[in-house]
């Protein structure tokens, strides 16, 4: 008889304890421990063709003797997806995609599976029936030429591996990891033990058979991927699918990537026929307006290696209540408060009794410090009710003493602003070192203090 024992797991972070605790010592959450039965049985995952031979013992090798070969990547027809993954799908990789319910995770993965021509794809679903998936597939891709996509509605990992052994797919998509269960663990699907065991079995299959596997995961109310935190450590790549269900634009963001940059994003537009790639995101992030309005500026930011121009909107008004309000959407509120303190201390603007609201247009979450100068200019534009010309762009960081600091990769920011027809760009004078201004048609204004910016904009 196999031994079975009882353990308590935190449903928020996956911390394991031999007894029940009121407060998790790992994540400090209350009343999150649930009892689960852990059955100790030998794992019976099939031996794959490329499995390590039995009896082989790993030996240490000198780093100079190891032969490095570039990872073989499978290029998809989705250029945005390729960019986020670092150039394509790596053989044997395990990719986890998380996002809010209804954001389009299943649509993205089914669209990817249908676009992989001449590649045998197995789409495993534990949430939808075959008819539901077929209905979505007809809407996403009516063409059936050179398409080998197989649908399996199953939740038992043992049955899934049996079908994989018969079909021998070249790509596997699992929707979702929280619905799978293994007979080796005596607990309900979605529990910490089941998620960890099922992911471990899929990880072993991916590495031993060199078959890429995509896992769709649910997220908690805090936005983190549901299940134990070790789930994100086990996989090779973690992608976050973000956006508002009431808007058409979606952002695919790389949170962790062992095969490429972990700061890349891909932008999609949700349409009736599926997700459309947005190759030039600056056009959708800049609103088209006929008249000049105060409190609106354009900043040049970088997401990964991609330059983008975003619209910053600020509103400064008299406080109707005793305590002035500070609110920021898409930007760190603490950094906004710091910039407002710089304006009050160094420049003499009385903002302590004013309500200040800040919004990054397009639903993006911005962390690039190069948008500081654009935000400061937008706040003063709204405070003085003087519009900033829509042909002016900003790319600089603001320091606590009011100085304009340099930012990295200024050439890409200037080139993006020039490509979209801007006439002026404000940068730090410390960015002029090594910058060939004769290459650009756009007028480059280099400044060192906030006062110089205000003098150039508002006289």
Q: Is 106 annotated as a binding residue?
A: yes
The Cα 123–Cα 113 span in angstroms is 8
Rg, C-alpha atoms of the chain: 26
Residue 129 CB burial class (10 angstroms; 0-12, 13-18, ≥19): exposed
Within 10 angstroms of residue 408's Cβ, the number of other Cβ atoms is 11
Q: What distances in angstroms separate CA 393 from CA 285, 286, 298, 426, one per listed residue? A: 14, 12, 5, 6
Q: Is 266 annotated as a binding residue?
A: no
Q: Is 105 annotated as a binding residue?
A: yes
* Torsion of the alpha carbons at 181, 182, 188 and 189, rounded to the nearest 10: -20
DSSP H stretches of helix in 141-268: 157-167, 192-209, 230-234
Q: Is 103 annotated as a binding residue?
A: yes
The Cα 151–Cα 270 span in angstroms is 24
Q: Yes or no: say if 279 and 79 are a contact pair by the CB < 8 Å rule.
A: yes
DSSP H stretches of helix in 245-399: 281-285, 333-347, 372-384
**191: which 2 tokens?**
């529990």
**181: which 2 tokens?**
């269960």
How many residues belong to the chain? 459
Q: Is 217 annotated as a binding residue?
A: no
The Cα 265–Cα 101 span in angstroms is 20
- Strand arrangement, sheet containing 148-153: 148-153, 120-125, 171-175, 213-217, 94-99, 237-243, 249-257, 265-271, 274-277
Q: Is 100 annotated as a binding residue?
A: yes
Q: Is 104 annotated as a binding residue?
A: yes
**143: which 2 tokens?**
């063409």
Closest CA to 211 of 175, 177, 173, 170: 170
Answer positive or negative: Cα dihedral of 70, 75, 78, 79: positive
Q: Yes or no: say if 210 and 169 are a contact pair by the CB < 8 Å rule.
A: no
Q: Which residues are annotated as a binding site?
A: 99-106
Residue positions forming the annotated binding site for ATP? 99-106
């Amino acid at each position: 008889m196999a031994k079975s024992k009882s353990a308590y797991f935190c449903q928020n972070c996956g911390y394991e304890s031999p007894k029940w605790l009121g407060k998790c010592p790992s994540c400090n959450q209350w009343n999150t421990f649930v009892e689960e039965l852990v059955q100790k049985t030998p794992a019976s995952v099939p031996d794959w063709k490329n499995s390590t031979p039995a009896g082989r013992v790993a030996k240490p090798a000198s780093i100079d003797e190891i032969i490095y070969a570039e990872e073989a990547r499978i290029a998809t027809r989705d250029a945005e997806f390729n960019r986020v993954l670092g150039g394509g799908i790596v053989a044997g990789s395990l990719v986890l995609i998380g996002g809010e319910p209804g954001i389009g995770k299943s649509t993205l993965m089914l669209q990817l599976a249908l676009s992989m021509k001449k590649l045998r794809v197995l789409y495993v679903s534990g949430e939808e029936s075959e008819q539901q998936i077929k209905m979505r597939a007809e809407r996403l891709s009516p063409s059936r030429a050179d398409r080998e996509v197989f649908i399996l509605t199953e939740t038992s990992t043992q049955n899934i591996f049996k079908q994989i052994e018969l079909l021998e797919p070249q790509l596997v998509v699992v929707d979702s990891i929280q619905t799978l269960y293994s007979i080796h663990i005596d607990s309900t699907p979605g529990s910490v033990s089941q998620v960890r065991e099922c992911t471990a079995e899929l990880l072993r299959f991916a590495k031993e058979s060199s078959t890429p596997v995509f896992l769709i995961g649910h997220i908690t109310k805090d936005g983190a991927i549901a299940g134990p935190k070790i789930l994100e450590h086990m996989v090779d790549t973690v992608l976050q699918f973000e956006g508002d269900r009431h808007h058409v634009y979606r952002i695919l963001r790389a949170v962790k990537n062992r095969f490429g940059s972990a700061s890349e994003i891909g932008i999609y537009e949700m349409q009736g026929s599926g997700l459309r790639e947005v190759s030039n995101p600056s056009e959708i992030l800049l609103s088209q307006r006929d008249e000049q309005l105060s409190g609106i500026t354009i900043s040049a930011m970088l997401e990964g290696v991609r330059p983008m121009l975003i619209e910053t909107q600020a509103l400064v008004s008299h406080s109707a209540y005793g305590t002035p309000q500070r609110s920021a959407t898409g930007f760190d509120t603490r950094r906004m408060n710091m910039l407002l303190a710089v304006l009050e201390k160094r420049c003499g603007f009385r903002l302590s009794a004013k309500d200040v609201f800040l919004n990054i247009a397009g639903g993006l979450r911005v962390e690039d410090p190069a948008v500081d100068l654009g935000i400061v200019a937008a706040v003063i534009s709204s405070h003085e009710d003087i519009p900033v010309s829509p042909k002016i762009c900003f790319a600089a960081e603001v320091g606590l003493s009011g100085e304009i600091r340099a930012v990295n990769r200024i050439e890409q920011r200037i080139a993006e602003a020039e490509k979209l027809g801007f006439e002026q760009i404000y940068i730090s004078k410390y960015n002029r070192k090594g910058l060939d201004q004769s290459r650009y048609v756009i007028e480059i204004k280099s400044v060192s203090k906030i006062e110089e910016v205000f003098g150039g904009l508002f006289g």
